[in-house]
Structure 1
Amino acid sequence: MPFYAPLAEISLSQSAVLLTGFSVGAVSGIFGVGGGFLAAPALMFMGVPPMISVGTAANLVIASSFSGLLGNLRRRTVDYTLGAVLLACSATGNAAGFVLLNQLTGSGGGGIFVKLFYFLLLLAIGSAMLFESLLAGRRHGGEAAQAAGAAPAVRWAPVFRMSGKPLPLPRIAATGVAVGLLSAMLGVGGGFFVIPAMIYFIGVPAKMVVGTTAFLTFFSSLFVTATYAIGYQAVDPVTAVLLVIASAFGAPAGLAIGKRLNAERMRLLLALLILAVAANMAASLFLAPENQYLLQDG
């Protein structure tokens, strides 16, 4: 059954949007990531303009990260100080991302850049995760060993009380800025980026990673979504509501599936999913559309 998306100014299949929301919720439940990297490309495939796809998909990140944050608050697995530092640094990345987005939008190349940026990012992340998952079978305790030795002794490494260890401030700042830039440009929470960055690049204890990531992505996504809604008028309300409702049903199904998968298999499946989305994004970028048309004056 089709419905009219008022901001995107196109008719969309209600079943396709609900299925997208459910799938994003399931992916969030299985892998512990926000799913924004899946929702925005799916909307683009349906014909929603890239900017509106990004702004609308950002609402899902708010919903999924808030749910994850509540659970981790109960388990006391959120490092508030580390999260606040990352959030402050991500604000700098947000500002830089929106400045760049304004310049690209003004020149008329914003949509193509968003698609190309999405493709390159998904290709890089998916390839790295696939390589890591294939190597995992040859190692014993490799992830724990890497996490323990990920952050060598450096200057400017204050002790974070909840994490219980010194962490390198320059690496924290770089991670926060990168997440802010990704959030502004692509509307993603950055969980698929910040989780491995916290483990391997910063050296955050594994038990504090997911909760602190949820803290960061929730507050960062609030700001990003508000900017897209108010500054760019790029959040389609009807589509966003359908996506959020469907994702709420998909998340429990994903959690049930995730409990039956070991960590290495989950990482391999997530890598393959990201690469599949990247392949579809490449097709939309480099293949000629089925319905070609030409605009002429007069």
Structure 2
Amino acid sequence: MDLRVPLWQPRLARGNGEGRTVAVSDALEEEFREFVAARSAALLRTAYLLAGDWATAEDLLQTALTKTYLAWKRLGGIEAVEPYARRVLVNTATSWWRRRWHGERPTDVLPEQPARDRVQEQLDRDALWRHVQQLPARQRAVLVLRFYEDLSEAQTAALLNISAGTVKSQSSRALATLRRRLAAEQAAERAAEQAAGVPAPSARPNGPATGPRNPRPAAPSAPAGPPAQRPAATGRGPAAVPGTPRVRPDLPTPAPVVAVPPAPVPAIPASRVDA
């Protein structure tokens, strides 16, 4: 949607039923066109916050600008035209809110959210916006003018044609309702997570979850049986160690090896060496 294109076009006012048209002053019409081209985008955003969807916001803005133009033509111009148009827009939205059908309607927030791949701040903003849409029309208008349009209590009271005390009370009640509903929604989400077995954020580990480590296999135990008996002592020496080959007693014992010293080398006579 191109917000640079004005959504409003002036219409020629009809006369007293005879079909005669009354031409609007060119200067006043051009001045109002400039106002619409400059501020229609901002007024459309305000209408969206009041209505909740862009299609209804465009209809509300079209109606509000038409009413403002008729007053502009009747009064020969309005000095503070933007506050006047915003007040007409809020009144138009309030009237629409009271008679609207509480059934299916377009919305920017789907009932089934995708995976939690957004930042928590965006999720909180979506939840807050859903609860703002459920507020009464007067409380919703006060919140939009006070905290979105950043108007003072006196300016908000003048636009809504109520007292400053009413602005304070409506704002306080709306904020208290939002806090209570958001707290209840968060408590319900925590209860659902606990019922599903999902640990609380404080109890969840920081690192990736790991399974239990496999214990080392225990050494195989010896089969059950009677206790081993020690061999009887004999006079032939120490008992044989189990697992070593036994020496057969019928084989002859080899004779001991005697080392023979080498024969001495005869000395060479000195005469042989001198020769």
- Common fold, TM-score beyond 0.5? no
TM (norm. structure 2) is: 0.25
Q: Which has the higher helix share?
A: 1
TM (norm. structure 1) is: 0.23
Answer 1 or 2: higher relative contact order, Cα 8 Å, separation at least 6. 1
